[in-house]
């Protein structure tokens, strides 16, 4: 007949609860077993930074517990590399991790503390060699502060690669307006770093128009991108 307490409603309820707790404990315990150890760690989007470097930054190795992996914390650790602008992790149970990264794009270089440094599209300073056709960033008022650096880098990033490679120097004036000197000698007034996508398109269209006609330009003004103006060279 069984113990007397099992014949009561409270006793049966207690038995069911105990069984549920035992099952839950067993289920939780199973998440710490090799069943959830990583057997594949895939990295997507890495070009400048090696996949091994990304795994190392995130502390990801074969056998890493996929179930209990802190995705946000691991992503933050990976972005400690200056080339990594963004990292996102995907958990595929039981044993697969996918790391998707977006690397920064160098758009210019600037003199920082006496050293030439690459500058990413968001103004971040990057390690590495400065290649040809990379424009220089300068401040007319003196030292280029991080906010100015980010503003002019964003304007350069909004240009097409062809147009950006034609820029020789990008200046930030004391009032915050941008002025570019092109490799062909033309001066481009950009105004404040707003509507940068539209300004980039306007500048490219003007340069294409001038090239088709064989017209050398002395000055281009795209501060109002819907109504740009040009001054031909003498």
Q: Which of 152, 114, 129 is nearest to 48 (CA)?
A: 129
Give CA angle at 158 (156, 159), nearest 5°. Answer: 70
What pLDDT does residue 220 have? 98
In a domain, 7, yes or no: no
One domain for residues 121 and 177: yes
- The last residue of a domain, from among 73, 103, 133: 103
Three-state DSSP class for 212?
helix
One domain for residues 110 and 216: yes
Whether omega for the bond prior to residue 94 falls within 30 degrees of 0, making it cis, is yes
pLDDT above 70 for 23? no
Asked whether the whole model's pTM tops 0.95, one would answer: no
Q: Which range, of 68-72, 146-150, 199-203, averages the lowest pLDDT? A: 146-150
One domain for residues 92 and 139: no
In a domain, 1, yes or no: no
One domain for residues 50 and 164: no
pLDDT above 50 for 147? yes
One domain for residues 91 and 110: no
Q: How confident is the model at residue 30 (pLDDT cuts 50, 70, 90)?
A: low
- The last residue of a domain, from among 78, 103, 128: 103
Q: How many domains does the chain have?
A: 2
What pLDDT does residue 27 have? 43
In a domain, 124, yes or no: yes
Cα separation, 62 vs 22, whole angstroms: 30
What domain range includes position 77?
A: 34-103
In a domain, 173, yes or no: yes
One domain for residues 226 and 139: yes
One domain for residues 55 and 122: no
pLDDT above 90 for 28? no
In a domain, 29, yes or no: no
What pLDDT does residue 38 have? 95
Residue partners of 213: CB distance under 8 A and separation at least 6: none
- Give the domain CATH number at 228: 3.40.50.10960
In a domain, 96, yes or no: yes
- The last residue of a domain, from among 82, 103, 124: 103
pLDDT above 90 for 182? yes
Task: Note the pLDDT tens digit of each residue in 183-214.
Answer: 999 999 999 999 999 999 999 999 999 999 99
One domain for residues 113 and 91: no
């Amino acid at each position: 007949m069984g113990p007397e307490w099992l014949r009561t409603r409270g006793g049966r309820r207690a038995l069911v609860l105990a069984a549920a707790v035992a099952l839950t404990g067993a289920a939780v315990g199973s998440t710490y077993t090799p069943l959830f150890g990583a057997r594949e760690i895939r990295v997507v989007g890495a070009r400048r930074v090696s996949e091994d470097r990304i795994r190392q930054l995130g502390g990801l190795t074969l056998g890493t517990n996929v179930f209990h992996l802190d995705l946000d914390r691991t992503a933050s650790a990976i972005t400690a590399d200056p080339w990594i602008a963004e990292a996102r992790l995907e958990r595929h149970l039981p044993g697969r991790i996918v790391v998707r990264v977006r690397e920064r794009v160098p758009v210019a270089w600037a003199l920082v503390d006496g050293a030439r440094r690459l500058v990413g599209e968001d103004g971040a300073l990057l390690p590495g060699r400065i290649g040809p056709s990379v424009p220089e960033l300068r401040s007319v008022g003196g030292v280029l502060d991080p906010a100015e650096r980010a503003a002019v880098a964003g304007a350069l990033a909004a240009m097409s690669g062809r147009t950006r490679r034609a820029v020789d120097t990008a200046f930030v004036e004391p009032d915050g307006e941008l002025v570019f000197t092109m490799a062909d000698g033309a001066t481009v007034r950009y105004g404040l770093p707003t509507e940068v996508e539209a300004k980039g398109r306007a500048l490219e269209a003007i340069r294409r128009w001038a090239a088709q006609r064989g017209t050398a330009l002395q000055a281009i003004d795209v501060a109002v991108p819907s109504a740009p103006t040009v001054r031909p060279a003498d």
